[in-house]
């Protein structure tokens, strides 16, 4: 089997900012696998937060190029969860689909619906600028009346004003918030009651992953979602009594194979599901889209943040996500 990997850089429409910093481009690794007749592709997004870089991901992929008879099951043992395994796992799913003449959801025996509604992320900024971004997003993405907006917050004194400003701009929108580990317990206690009054539906990762045990001592008037605290199925036991929801991202699980396992086990243990993504192209969204049919929330807007996307992209009709075209993946 041939395995290739390369870096690609995709400029963003505008700077994207969260509590840990900002970026102006998406740097991704694209993996290709071939059996000599068919070609499969996958995309991974290395994150410094998880001690990954383009170089480290390329090195991981290089380290297994000599493996004979590589398949998805063996891959789970060869590479740890992360962007490298994600790109290669998804490429192997794509190759299998191309070789079999089936779509990946048929191979995985999972349901697929024609469209699912996704949130659109509003980057961290001043209240005025976030309000303006929410208004602009409604029209630029064809949302009409804003449906679901995900607001990045920063753990400072402006957080509540940010949400209030967006709520005034978009009174009918469903609101999710993502703190990216930036809050203190005091901040949580101070603003969560008002967030509930503002009809926020979900709080994502308020505290650092290494300090999230404090959630066991706090009231949860709104469901709290684990992102940085949940990567793989083995993480679930210690999340009980801390979170009600988990954010499943393929770059954390290390691909669709482990993501399917995580989703199944999470449902069995009464967690709700949010299917998320990094800032990425449609090639990374396509496999994640397969998980969205039965999720409680979907946050797969990565390509909408790009200045341009791939050829044959995942369709986004009126704030929803359609089925990935076969020319793209799976």
DSSP 34-60: E-SS-EEEEEE---GGGT--HHHHHHH
Task: Note if 6 is an active site residue.
Answer: no
Select from 206, 152, 140, 149 the least CA-distant residue to 175: 149
pLDDT reported for residue 72? 94
Compute the 3-state secondary structure of the chain and give helix, strand, coil in percent, each to the nearest 5.
40, 20, 40
Q: What is the pLDDT of residues 26-78, one digit of tens each?
A: 999 999 999 999 999 999 999 999 999 999 999 999 999 988 889 999 999 99
Neighbours of 6 (CB within 10 A): 12
Task: Note if 249 is an active site residue.
Answer: yes
Q: Where are the beta strands (DSSP E) in the chain?
A: 2-18, 21-34, 39-44, 116-117, 120-122, 148-152, 174-178, 200-204, 224-226, 245-248, 272-275, 297-298, 320-321
Annotated catalytic residue, options 68, 249, 272, 320: 249
pLDDT reported for residue 146? 52
pLDDT reported for residue 138? 64
pTM here is 0.95
pLDDT reported for residue 13? 94
Annotated catalytic residue, options 37, 68, 129, 152: 152
**CA–CA distance, 300 with 127 (Å, rounded to integer):** 24
**CA–CA distance, 200 with 149 (Å, rounded to integer):** 10
pLDDT reported for residue 288? 98
Select from 223, 239, 225 the least CA-distant residue to 179: 225
Residues of the chain with pLDDT under 70: 138-146
Q: What is the pLDDT of residues 203-245, one digit of tens each?
A: 999 999 999 999 999 999 999 999 999 999 999 999 999 999 9
pLDDT reported for residue 62? 96
pLDDT reported for residue 140? 52
**CA–CA distance, 330 with 326 (Å, rounded to integer):** 6
């Amino acid at each position: 089997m041939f395995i290739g990997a390369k870096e690609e850089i995709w400029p963003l429409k505008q700077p994207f900012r969260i509590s840990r910093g900002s970026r102006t481009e998406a740097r991704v690794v694209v993996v290709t696998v071939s059996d000599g007749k068919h070609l499969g592709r996958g995309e991974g997004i290395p994150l410094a937060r998880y001690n990954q870089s383009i170089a480290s991901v390329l090195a991981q992929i290089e380290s297994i190029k000599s493996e004979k008879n590589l398949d998805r099951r063996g891959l789970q043992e060869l590479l740890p969860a992360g962007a490298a395994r994600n790109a290669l796992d998804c490429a192997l799913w794509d190759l299998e689909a191309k070789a079999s003449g089936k779509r990946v959801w048929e191979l995985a025996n999972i349901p697929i619906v024609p469209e699912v509604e996704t949130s659109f992320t509003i980057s961290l900024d001043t209240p005025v600028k976030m309000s303006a971004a929410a208004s602009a997003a409604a029209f630029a993405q064809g949302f009409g009346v804003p449906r679901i907006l995900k607001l990045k917050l920063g753990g400072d004194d402006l957080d509540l004003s940010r949400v209030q400003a967006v709520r005034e701009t978009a009174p009918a929108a469903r609101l999710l918030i993502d703190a990216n580990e930036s809050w203190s317990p005091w901040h949580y206690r101070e603003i969560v009651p008002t967030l509930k009054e503002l009809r926020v539906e979900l709080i994502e990762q308020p505290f650092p992953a290494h300090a999230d045990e404090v959630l066991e001592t706090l009231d949860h008037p709104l469901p709290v979602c684990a992102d940085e605290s949940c990567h793989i199925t083995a993480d679930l036991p210690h999340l009980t009594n801390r979170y009600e929801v988990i954010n499943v991202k393929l770059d954390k699980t290390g691909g669709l194979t482990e993501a399917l396992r995580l989703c199944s086990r999470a449902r069995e243990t009464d967690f709700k599901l949010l299917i998320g993504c990094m800032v990425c192209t449609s090639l990374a969204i396509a496999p994640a889209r397969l998980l969205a049919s039965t999720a409680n929330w979907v946050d797969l807007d990565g390509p909408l943040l790009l200045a341009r996307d791939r050829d044959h992209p995942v369709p986004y009709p009126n704030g929803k996500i359609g089925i990935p075209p076969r020319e793209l993946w799976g």
